[in-house]
Structure 1
Amino acid sequence: MTSLLTFLIAGILLVAVDGHLLRRSGTAYLRELGDNAGPLNQLVTVVFHLATLGLVALIAILPMDLGGEPKTVVGRIGVLLLVLAVAHALTIWTFGRIRARHESEVLTAEVARRS
């Protein structure tokens, strides 16, 4: 039971820290969107938090015995870090896609205006 609580606390802290970093990065990535930047940033980071916290819960209940509680907690945290890396990359990719789409729309509008 102690190892489960230790993992859950560590997992929630890791997700919170990474989510905070993503929120700050999202603000920089989406700055050009003007008034839409805040809500889009919040939407993407909320999805990140919900998905990764769900993964923390699932990893916590996976059967894993690595030869004692400390090794099992470290193993679970290792799996979580790998999952967080993928989730972080997907979130940054999403910010990039939103930004690229906005830039494309601005460019299309500019070309239409000049025609």
Structure 2
Amino acid sequence: MTSLLVFLLSGALLVVVDGHLLRRSGTAYLRELGENAGPMNQLVTVVFHLGALGLVALLAVVPMDLGSAPETLVGRIGVLLLVLAVAHAVTTAVLGRVRARHESEVLSAEVARRG
């Protein structure tokens, strides 16, 4: 029971810290969107938080026995870190697609205006 609580608290803390970093960097990354940058970044980071916290909850109950309780806890945290890395990469890719789409729209509007 104690290792489960340690894992859940550690996992939630990792998700919150990573989500905070994504939100800060996403705001700067999407700044070109103007007034839409904040809401779009918030939407993407909320989805990250919900998905990542769901994964923490699932990893907490998936059977994993690596010997002793500390070894199992370290194994769970290792899997969590790998999953968070993938979630972080996917979120960063989504932010990149949003930015690229906006840049394409701006370029198309500029070409249409000059043409």
**Under a length normalisation based on structure 2, what TM-score does the superposition of the two structures give?**
0.99
C-alpha distance in structure 2 between counterparts of 1:64 and 1:10, whole Å: 17
How far the C-alpha of 1:18 sits from its partner, in A, is 0.2
2:13 maps to: 13
Give the secondary-structure state (helix, strand or coil) at the position aligned to 1:66: coil
How far the C-alpha of 1:28 sits from its partner, in A, is 1.1
List alignment gaps of at least 5 residues for structure 2: none
Q: State whether structure 2 residue 63 is matched by structure 1 residue 63.
A: yes
Superposition pairs of residues 42-61 of structure 1, within 5 angstroms: 42-61=42-61
Superposition pairs of residues 1-115 of structure 1, within 5 angstroms: 1-115=1-115
Identity across matched positions, percent: 79
List alignment gaps of at least 5 residues for structure 1: none
**Under a length normalisation based on structure 1, what TM-score does the superposition of the two structures give?**
0.99
C-alpha distance in structure 2 between counterparts of 1:25 and 1:86, whole Å: 17
C-alpha distance in structure 2 between counterparts of 1:52 and 1:82, whole Å: 11
Q: What RMSD in Å do the two structures reach over aligned CA positions?
A: 0.4
Letter in 1 for 2:110: E
How far the C-alpha of 1:69 sits from its partner, in A, is 0.8
Letter in 1 for 2:2: T
